[in-house]
Amino acid sequence: MSNVASTLPTGSHACQCPKVRHQTKRIVLTGGPGGGKTAVLEMARRYFCQHVAIAPESASIVFGGGFPRSGSPQGLRAAQRAIFHVQDALETVALESRQSAVILCDRGTLDGLAYWPGSRESFFKEFNTSLEQELSRYAAVVHVEVPALAWGYEKNSIRNESVAQARAIDERIAQAWRSHPRVLTVKAQAGFLDKLASAIELLREEIPPCCRNHLRSARP
């Protein structure tokens, strides 16, 4: 599995601590469809150093690989089971590399609560886990909110929600993570470029100082 871990996307900038053994922590980047999360991740890939690994979104892997999408409770539960286990496996592979200071997760395990067709209790029973256990996986949660007008929002083969549905999902995601002790929010009211800069600045504060020193501020 270590060969797989070495292929995870990492930052393109070399920092001055290539031999430092970091204690790896996981950070969630989350938010509803159309909030700008994908753009933030693309900037993170270009902006951060090689010690920031990015774990891709499990839902995109599952649905992009042809998993059927169904609106029935049974279909929704089946999809979320697949997404949860892929998410867990992606994070495990990233942790096994033992080279990253931060694993930036494109969504986290608790995002599934926003899509689960049942109670919170049934979600945790399904995966034999607890809210506390899932919250403890992650050192911080950066939530990029969906704007009211969802500028540039487009449906595609993976994203099939309307703007109103995207905002409703965004609110449910916020509820799923609200108990985490470190939730950092990029507000919906901000303009697109401001949201990108704000998100990168929040992420920048979560990486070790030795990886941070060579970076300029993301704001102009």
C-alpha 220/C-alpha 215 separation (Å) is 13
Average pLDDT in the 23-42 region?
A: 92
Query: Which of 82, 33, 89, 25 has its CA nearest to residue 56?
Result: 89
**Under a CB-based contact definition with an 8 Å cutoff, are residues 26 and 158 in contact?**
no
**pLDDT of 8:** 41
**Under a CB-based contact definition with an 8 Å cutoff, are residues 139 and 128 in contact?**
no
Cβ atoms within 10 Å, residue 158: 14
Tokens coding 198 = 């704000």
| 9 pLDDT more than 50 | no
CA 111 to chain centroid, in Å, comes to 9
Cβ atoms within 10 Å, residue 148: 11
**pLDDT of 189:** 78
**pLDDT of 82:** 98
C-alpha 117/C-alpha 129 separation (Å) is 17
| 84 pLDDT more than 70 | yes
pTM for this structure?
Answer: 0.85
Q: Which residues does 115 contact at the CB level (< 8 Å), separation at least 6? A: 76, 79, 80, 169
Q: For the chain, which domains are there?
A: 2-12+23-212 (3.40.50.300)
pLDDT band at 188 (very low <50, low <70, confident <90, very high): confident
Q: Which residues does 38 contact at the CB level (< 8 Å), separation at least 6? A: none
Residues forming a β-bridge with 53: 10, 103
